Structure 1
Amino acid sequence: MKRDIASHGTLSHAPPVTQRVLLLGAYGLIGAAVADALLAEGHAVTGIGRDVAAARRARPAITWRAQDIARLARPEDWSPFIAGIDAVVNCAGALQDSARDDVQAVQATAMKALFAACEAQRITIVQVSAVGAAADAPTAFMRSKAEADAALAGCSCPWVILRPGLVLAAQAYGGTALLRALAAWPGPVAMPHADARVQTVPVGSVAAAVCDALAGRIALRGAYDLVEPQAHSLADLDAALRAWLGRPPRRVFRAPALLGRLIAGAGDLLSHLGWRPPLRSASLAELARGVRGDPQPWLSVGGQAIPSLADSLFAMPATVQEKWFGRVWLLRPLMIAALALFWAGSGLVALLRPAEAAAVLATRGTPQTLALAHVLGGALVDLALGALVLHRRTLGLATRGMVAVTLAYLVGGSVMAPDLWLDPLGPLLKAIPAMLPALLLLATQEDR
């Protein structure tokens, strides 16, 4: 049975009632924390997302449904997903248009269709938006969030809009991953918009706010910023994260805005290869104007106070995992670029000088035609692997291929030219350490 938790800004102090909740983006940074909190309160959770295989294994207590939310553009498209549901919590989002994401479709078009479908059935809606969402915001991310918020505010069903600031979590993803990695960097760092002001919120507070809304512990039909009282500069946030990691203080240079635009432009290009770089044009624009909100409306309706940055970090102590992550995370794009150049360059050299490459085998008894075929075939494989490692969706295939080809090269070389093991230039010996970056990338390919 559907239940109106509260209406028109009134509070309900009845004991929590178990509800059937549809959770959008249930395996994301915020969504996963919300899912755990809902389960802990006894709710029955159905999670929806594009790829739920790993999420189903990690959280078997949730009923998972695979669906690209961007394709649910009409109210009737949502009917199979909201049947029997008491409440909907939206934690889905996309930072910027890319090969994988359509911001307007995910954050505005699909949400307006969902809200219309829920309104017809009086289903409670909790919309997790973002501080800074406004119709005149500089990014499509914030404009589409504002469009969805406005549509929800016009609904007659019970609703709440929560607008978190910069979210801190044990799980590092997106912008928080970049900040953590920069804090782990050993030397001075150049930071665009180092004086921009931000207010943080721990992900647990966001999850608790969602639970409070569903339980009627706060007034519904309102929009609330979830931010700590004090704002910090990005430079001060870097210093706090660095101390959290146990690193000594270091100097932060105020980098020119042009540097930020160049890095963000590179991030935009990488997004077309399936990657989700945390620093793209949208995130840079939002950082430049700051991540700031007003915590007072949330407190005035009985919301739990948001911990300060210091308290949030104290409650989430850094371990050796965070220290390793910070260092390795920045090295991953360098390893990808190095492997792409190494394998593509190796293939290109072989194609440009096939006779000389084939001579290594021909002088050891391999027929010239067969030796040449080995060289040309290997060159094409090398070029393909060098290209495939650049795309996010084929990174795993490429790194496995690199390991397999290297092992085949070592076995083949041992059989056909064992003397190369003693060659002063070490063509076989050097292949072993050259394989290790591929193994490291394969081991760290997950990004959430």
Structure 2
Amino acid sequence: MITPTTSRILVLGASGLIGRFVTDDLRRRGFATIGVARAFSASQRVSPADIELPIMALDATGLAGLMRGHEIDVVVNCLGVLQDGPGSNTDAVHREFVVRLLAAIAACGRSVRFIHVSIPGTADEDHTAFATTKREAERLIAASGIPHAILRPGFVIAPSAYGGSAMVRALAAFPIDLPGKDAATPFQPVAVADIAATIAWLALRPVGEDMRAVSWDLMQSEPVTLGDVIAAFRRSYGTADWRRLAIPAPLINLGAIAGDFASRLGWMPPMRSTAIAELRRGVRGDPAPWIAATGITPTTLAETVGAHGAPIQDKWFARLFLTKALIIASLVLFWVASGSIALFISFPATTAILTTRGWPEGFAIPFAAITSMMDISVGVLIAFRKTAAFGLAAGIFVSLGYMLGCAVLTPDLWLEPLGALVKTGPAIVLMLVALLVMDNR
């Protein structure tokens, strides 16, 4: 008989929204669970059973060795990326990796059940690389002959929030509305706890003919729209009675273009062209086979979100989520613009500030040029995700240097009518806020 203590589970993508919850939930149920991810955040490194591995770089032999070494009985694949970009390739993650994983399961010498987390919908609705590669992976799994379960969750509601789930929360926290057509999109939700319960249920079942190959849509049965989901969060946040301004559809499209550009700089904004396309396609499916087979009663939207008021930390997160992008963009513009104006437009005036206070011209000119280029460099560093934290720290250091240097060398600038130096203090605070909200998970 299979029990939680005898079944060993490998969760791939254990740092993500679904993967993290599933890994922790399986352990609470008594399963020996190995969580694998390319990297875990500092707050996720709580168990020695979580392993950081360059999982995408492993070939079939390496993956098979991982399963044999840990005596794995169940493999849960939660890996996924939304859109192609620097460091992200939908075909490599969704299709090529699954090919290697299937080969590894076949070659590992163990009886392994494969549980694959996919997306709802049908092939004729797939119009993005995200969707088509996910569907191709499903076809490969179905044709492999390996005991498997393909799970297609609806819109996942979890205690944590990344990407699209965070954007829905942010929309609920601001006095804005989606266009009517977008708000009416079918958007069937599912509680992440129901996904975890399904995986645990499968892990306890022997691989018989009735459970050898299943494909289930995981979502609540009652029809729900995107507007309904946002409204549920509004009730939780206490913003349901606010007056709202409808966002024009072209503005959403413009935001998607801006998000695509930001992704080229290493950021992972929730509003990208693929996200908007998938949102407008909607989330729908038939959960009846899943409910009938497992006996799980899906948690409803009202039970998941509307049963209690949001704690203050959730409300702060929802308000700050979209504001974070505005903060980063404004700081990039501030540093690049201030340095460019001083260097290319007002350079004579910049040097005059120093020479009229007794600085030798041979020193004032290179000093003004260096500080202007330093400002531009700070802005460029903040613009790229990998260097943003360093750029923000550098910006704080440079700003404090300007304030201290002017206090010693040109103290009269503190009394300048427009208060340029006085305004540096709030800029430092804004950079500190940006540093504090840099974490994504």
- TM-score when scaled to structure 1? 0.90
Structure 2 residue corresponding to 1:339, chosen from 308, 331, 334 = 331
Q: Secondary structure at the match of 1:232?
A: coil
CA distance 1:79–1:445, change in 2 (3 Å): same
Following superposition, the deviation at residue 379 of structure 1 comes to 0.7
Cα distance per residue 1:340-371 (max 9 Å; x no partner)? 11111111121123332122223333322222
1:107 is aligned with what amino acid? H
For residues 424 and 373 of structure 1, the distance between their equivalents in structure 2, rounded to whole angstroms, comes to: 26
Structure 2 residue corresponding to 1:436, chosen from 429, 432, 436 = 429
For residues 251 and 417 of structure 1, the distance between their equivalents in structure 2, rounded to whole angstroms, comes to: 50
**Is the 1:189–1:252 contact (alpha carbons within 8 Å) kept by the matching residues of 2?**
no
Residue equivalent to 1:359: 352
**Is the 2:4–2:30 contact (alpha carbons within 8 Å) kept by the matching residues of 1?**
no
For residues 387 and 122 of structure 2, the distance between their equivalents in structure 1, rounded to whole angstroms, comes to: 34
Following superposition, the deviation at residue 251 of structure 1 comes to 5.8
CA distance 1:14–1:68, change in 2 (3 Å): closer
Residue equivalent to 1:9: none
Residue equivalent to 1:112: 99
Q: Does 1:102 align with 2:62?
A: no
Structure 2 residue corresponding to 1:376, chosen from 369, 390, 393 = 369
Q: Does 1:163 align with 2:148?
A: no
Following superposition, the deviation at residue 433 of structure 1 comes to 0.8
Following superposition, the deviation at residue 245 of structure 1 comes to 0.8
Following superposition, the deviation at residue 435 of structure 1 comes to 1.6
Q: Which moved more, 1:269-278 or 1:358-367?
A: 358-367
Q: Does 1:20 align with 2:8?
A: yes
Q: Which moved more, 1:154-163 or 1:171-180?
A: 154-163
For residues 375 and 229 of structure 2, the distance between their equivalents in structure 1, rounded to whole angstroms, comes to: 43
For residues 113 and 188 of structure 1, the distance between their equivalents in structure 2, rounded to whole angstroms, comes to: 44
2:35 is aligned with what amino acid? G
Q: Secondary structure at the match of 2:170?
A: helix
2:63 is aligned with what amino acid? W
1:82 is aligned with what amino acid? M
Q: Does 1:447 align with 2:440?
A: yes
**Is the 2:232–2:306 contact (alpha carbons within 8 Å) kept by the matching residues of 1?**
no
1:290 is aligned with what amino acid? G
CA distance 1:252–1:297, change in 2 (3 Å): farther
Structure 2 residue corresponding to 1:409, chosen from 387, 402, 410 = 402
Following superposition, the deviation at residue 225 of structure 1 comes to 0.8
CA distance 1:424–1:318, change in 2 (3 Å): same
Q: Secondary structure at the match of 1:154?
A: helix
Q: Secondary structure at the match of 1:118?
A: helix
2:300 is aligned with what amino acid? S
Aligned pairs (5 A) from 1:281-300: 281-300=273-292
Structure 2 residue corresponding to 1:131, chosen from 96, 111, 120 = 120
**Is the 2:12–2:35 contact (alpha carbons within 8 Å) kept by the matching residues of 1?**
yes
**Is the 1:196–1:234 contact (alpha carbons within 8 Å) kept by the matching residues of 2?**
yes
Give the unaligned 5+ runs of structure 2: none
Q: Secondary structure at the match of 1:225?
A: strand
1:408 is aligned with what amino acid? G
Cα distance per residue 1:368-417 (max 9 Å; x no partner)? 22222221111111111112222222211111111011011111111111
For residues 320 and 165 of structure 1, the distance between their equivalents in structure 2, rounded to whole angstroms, comes to: 27
Residue equivalent to 1:3: none
CA distance 1:37–1:408, change in 2 (3 Å): same
Following superposition, the deviation at residue 192 of structure 1 comes to 5.8
Aligned length: 433
Residue equivalent to 2:53: 66
Give the unaligned 5+ runs of structure 1: 1-12
Identity %: 38
For residues 189 and 391 of structure 2, the distance between their equivalents in structure 1, rounded to whole angstroms, comes to: 38
- TM-score when scaled to structure 2? 0.92
CA distance 1:38–1:61, change in 2 (3 Å): farther
Q: Which moved more, 1:389-398 or 1:364-373?
A: 364-373
For residues 197 and 251 of structure 1, the distance between their equivalents in structure 2, rounded to whole angstroms, comes to: 24
Q: Which moved more, 1:375-384 or 1:414-423?
A: 414-423
User: Comparing both structures, which one devotes a greater share of its residues to helix?
Assistant: 2
